Structures are given as structure tokens and as C-alpha cells.
Chains A and B, each alone.
Chain A
């Protein structure tokens, strides 16, 4: 899950980035409004965390510009401004959720996961496809009582697959959504991780569509 974190306080941004990274997000950080607007427009993020008090361009304006330009990425506003007027403004400008500081990280994570699930059309609190159940808290997957621990990258990849079951996902799309911006991107590495998942969970869990990409679960006919 690729996440854009727009927060102007470097300390908070760094901590939050590390935390979300541990939770399996590929996090890009921005510290000002102009940069944030550009990144959000250019890169297909899965979710955006937006502070309203950004320098150079206010968060609300950034949000309005995204929505005007047709950027549909779910946005969670994370701000110290907690008046209802501001909440109403934020949500009317196209935000999907609103969390006020001080917040705790688990709350933020839960809300981000809910936003992503809602956005991908996944119903319910847990992610489960074809008896496979993904536990986002422990970053593990289970099936019929059996459990497998996942490494960070395996978790990221499997979660993205499970959020888009039955869809053909190209290597470049997978790369885009599991790696952060400055990571050393090599789409062949995806192949390596897919193979590791197959070794752990069985070959049939991910099928290869030659020249197109991979499919989790039942492939389209």
C-alpha cells in the first residue's frame, strides 16, 4: 500500500513514517503543500494522510485541487484543528476521514485500513479471500487453522493482492504500490517475492498471466 504522508513537523513525520512503514505501508513524505499537491497528483497512492497546516499551500486548498483534477485517492485529514467548521470544510472538500491531534497511532492505522478497504470495495473488518485470512496486526496469514508469518515485503505484496482479488496486477503496478518513492525499484524483485509467497502458501495461490502479470485467487476467464 503506497501512502503519502503530508505533515510539516519533521519529527512527527519521521516517527509516523517509520510506524506506517512497519505496518506494511510504502510511505512517501512531503512537508509542504506545493510538493504534496504535485505528488498526490502524479503518483497513484492508495491513501493519503494530509495535515491542514502545511506551509506554502494550505491543506484544504491542496485537497480541493486534487478533487478538481480528478484525483480520487482516499484522504485522511490529520490536523490539530478540531472545530466542526473545519471538519465540515474538510469533508466537503472531499476528504474521507478526519482525525485530530493528538491521536494515537493505532487509531490512525485502523482508520487508514478502513479507508483502503472501503476504497477497494472490501466488506468487513478483516481481509479474507478464498479462506485466506490476512491478519494486519500481526502481519500473518492463516487458512483452515494454519498460520504463516510474513516478512514486511511479503505482507505488503499479499495485502495488495488480497485487496484486488481476481484482478491481473502487472509487475510495474505492484512495484508502484509496495515500494516508496526513493526505494531501489527493480521489478524483478517482485518476481522473487511472488515466488516466496508461493513457496510458503502453495503454488496455486498466485497464478501468472504471461506477459500481463499476476492474479490472486480466481483469475478472470
Chain B
């Protein structure tokens, strides 16, 4: 029951059934009362007709005018009965045959309506009234069989039930439609969030119903804050780099100028340590700058960001005329935040650029998992170096000729982002092949 739709659905079904059920009972009851009232008033008419057509003799016997009595009262057990009692011998309709209705006497001026069981167990409705006539109290009771009425009523009840059921079903359909329609913006927001996670959009649409809007707005504010925080922290890291690197530059230059000639051994050490500082700082800064999942931040878009990066590489290595062959296989975005992607591809391609003779190739496949292959036609890397590159956590100083520092940056980035990296000889180009699997965000 943890779905709004089923909750609403169940609630509406239950309330509908209760409502329609109550309505069915009420309507049934009202109709029954109405029918019986109608019957009672007919009985009263008949009773009054009896009164009008009767005389009482001195012995208190009731004399009825036969012609004023309807035929139905003359047929045995016809279901229509009367009995008149004026204190003496009671007179009953012929239809009663020998039976007697156990209807109590009613005081003069009073009426009583009720049920009684008649001959042959017939359920009867009776109307009884006490009249004052010729100085005597005359009790007139008229009764009618309820069987036909009950049967009709039962049929009516079934019909009503059938209609009610049909109505419930119709209303349910309408309600389902309304529920689905009203929840559509919620589904749309959920789909929006999915697209946000895929990096297709960076803000949720606020064109949602009032009830959901605060939620969507809160998410958007949060995303915005996260973007700002990322931007600010990257800004701060850039400034930190600036404040560290300038003195470091001075340190190195002073060492080269003042120490290198006079004390080469010390210079060597100074150089080594300052390089170490630089590398460690770079590594930490690079790690801190990564956006991670970068929810709500733009993805690296191969249509926009790759051409700019490639153009930059061409400009930076103007003297090297490298041709880049790309095979994107329909992949549009990398599952990486834009700057993270720029850093990874930048280092990867820059390294290939440096060592290639004339060609670099970039091949993507995926999307699940996304595989990135960069190859070059350079001298490649020998087996021992390949093994050392493949080892996680091994720091590559520039003691590895060529593919050293750039690839160790790439390997660290891939470790941080969460992926696998493999080095091998390129079959098609003859140089180094770097293959990266970017795992799904967790």
C-alpha cells in the first residue's frame, strides 16, 4: 500500500461500496414503506366502504350489503380479508373461510396498522380502526396478502442492486481515470528525476501541481546549492594551487640559480622534494576537484566538449600534426561530470598526443558499461612498464620514460571515479592502448 495510486484507489473503492450499499438499503427501505403505506390506505378505503355499507341490528350483529363488497373478498383465501365486529358476533369476509385473523380490537377513533399471519400462513398487512356507529363501537379490520408485494419488492431490490453495482463500476473507472490523471505530474516529476540522474537535465521542471511544487523546488534549491558549492570549492582549490605554486616556482628557480652550480647534490635533493610537493599537491587538488556523481551538474557532452578539447590539444601541440580518429558509436554523454570528463579525457588524449607519431584513436562503446579506448601509433610501453602502470596505487614519477606521469594521473582519476583501466599494446596502431571501463554510478 505504499503507492499513492493504490492508496487512493482502495480508499475510493471502499468509500464507494459503503456509500452505494447504504443508498441501496435506504432506497429499498423507503420504497417498502411507501408501498405498504399505499396498501394501507387502500385497505382504509375498503374499510370505510364497509362501514358505509353496513348496519347493526339490535343484537349487535353486523349486516353487510353484499353488493357493496368487492368480489375479491368473496373468493376463499384470495388474500383480501376483512372482519367487522360490533361487540356481538363478528362478521368476516367469505374469503377467510373459517379462519379468524388475530387482530386486536382498536379503541374508537384509533387506527392500527400491522402485520399478521393469515390463513395458509399468508403474511398479511392489516389496517384496523375503531368507529362509533349507532351508539356502538365497531371494529373494522381489513387485511391484504403481502406476498405479491414482497415478491415485487424483492425484484425491485435486485434491480436496484444491479444498478448500484453498475454505478459502482462506472464510478470506479472514472475515479481511476481521475487518480491516474492527477498523479501524472508526480510520475512526470519522477521521470524528471530519472533524467536528472542520467545527467540529461540539470534542473527539475517546476510546472507541477501546487502540492508537489514545494518538493520539486526544494530539490532544485538543493541542486543549485550543490552546484554553487562545487563551483566555490573548485574556485578555492584553484586559488590554493595559485598560492602554493608561485612560491614553489620561486623555490625551484632560486635553487637552480644559487645551488645547482655550487652544490649539485643538494640541488638534486631540493629539486626532488619540490617536485614531490608539487605532485602530491596536484594529486590532492585533482581528487578534491572531482564532482563525484555530480547530480544536477552537466555531463561531459561528446558533441560539445570533445571538439573543444581536441581543438585545444591541436593548439597546444601545434608542431605535432596528429590526426584523431573518433568512433563514438552513438554515445552522446560520458557518465561523468563535465569537468571530470574534461580532466580524464584531457590527460588521456594529451598523453597519446605526446607519444603518437601521427595518429590517435578514440573509441567508445557502451553505454552499460561505458568503455573508452585510446590508442596511439607511438613507441608503446614495454611489458615491465605496462605491469607497473597496471598496479594500483603505485606512484609513477617521471622515471618511467614517456607514458609515465600522464598515465598515472589517468589511473588515479579512474580509481577515484570508480572504473577499471587496462594497458596493452594497440593492435591497430602499434603504440599503447588504454582501455577504461566506467562503472555505473553507485
Q: Tell whether, in the assembled complex, residue A97 and residue B316 are in contact, meaning their CB atoms are under 8 Å apart.
A: yes
Check B249–A79 contact: CB distance below 8 A.
no
Assess the A83–B339 pair: CB atoms within 8 A: yes
B312 near A12: Cβ-Cβ < 8 Å: no
Contact of A53 among B239, B274, B316 (CB under 8 A): B239
The chain A residue sitting closest to B278, CB to CB, is A102
Whether the Cβ atoms of A82 and B253 lie closer than 8 Å is: no
- A91 in contact with B316 (CB, 8 Å): yes
Q: Closest residue to A80 on the B side, CB-wise?
A: B245
Q: A87-B312, A88-B308, A88-B312 are in contact. Are A102 and B343 (CB under 8 A)?
A: no
- Distance A83 CA – B338 CA, assembled complex (angstroms): 12
CA distance A118 to B316 in the complex (A): 13
Residue of A nearest to B251 (CB): A102
Q: Which residues of B contact A81 (CB under 8 A)?
A: 238, 241-242
Residue of B253, B256, B308, B346 ringed by the most chain A CB atoms within 10 A: B253
Partner of A102, one of B238, B252, B338, B347: B252
Docked CA distance A98–B315 (Å): 10
A92 and B313 CA atoms in complex are apart in Å by: 11
- What is the number of residues of chain A that contact chain B, defined by CB distance less than 8 Å? 28
- Identify which of residues 303-331 in chain B touch chain A, using a CB-to-CB cut-off of 8 Å: 308-309, 311-312, 315-316, 318-319
**Cross-chain contact A86 with B238 (CB below 8 angstroms):** yes
Choice from B245, B250, B347 contacting A84 with Cβ under 8 Å: B347
Cβ-defined contact, A101 with B248, below 8 A: yes
- If A84-B347, A88-B309, A104-B253 touch, does A79 touch B242 (CB 8 Å cutoff)? yes
Write the nearest CB–CB distance from A170 to chain B, whole angstroms.
Answer: 31
* Chain A positions within 8 Å of B278 at CB level: 102
Q: Is the interface of B mostly helix, strand, loop or mixed?
A: helix
Q: Are B289 and A92 in contact (CB under 8 A)?
A: no
Q: Report the minimum CB–CB distance from A198 to chain B (whole Å).
A: 35
The reply to whether A105 and B245 form a contact with Cβ atoms under 8 Å apart is no
Q: Are A91's CB and B246's CB within 8 A?
A: no
Name the one of B308, B343, B350 contacting A92, with C-beta atoms under 8 angstroms: B308
Report whether B256 and A102 are in contact in the complex, using a CB–CB cutoff of 8 Å. Answer: no
Kindly identify, within residues 245 to 272 of chain B, every residue whose CB is under 8 Å from any CB belonging to chain A.
245-246, 248-253, 256
| Chain A hits for B350, CB < 8 A | 84
A86 and B239 CA atoms in complex are apart in Å by 13
| Complexed CA–CA distance, A79 and B239 (Å) | 11
Question: A103 near B: Cβ within 8 Å?
Answer: yes
Given contacts A97-B316, A104-B256, contact A53 B249 (CB under 8 A): no
A67-108 CB contact bits vs B (8 Å, 1 = yes)?
000000000000111111111100110001110111111000
Please name the residue on chain B nearest to A83 by beta carbon: B343
Does B63 reach chain A (CB closer than 8 Å)?
Answer: no
CB <8 Å contact, A118 and B346: no
User: What chain A residues lie within 8 Å of B248 (beta carbons)?
Assistant: 101-102
Give residues of chain B (223-255) contacting chain A, Cβ–Cβ below 8 Å: 238-239, 241-246, 248-253
Listed by A's residue number, 11 A-B pairs whose Cβ atoms lie within 8 Å are A9-B250, A12-B250, A53-B238, A84-B312, A84-B339, A84-B345, A87-B312, A92-B312, A98-B316, A100-B245, A101-B245
What are the 7 A-B residue pairs with the smallest beta carbon separation, nearest first? A84-B346, A80-B245, A101-B245, A102-B249, A80-B242, A53-B242, A80-B241
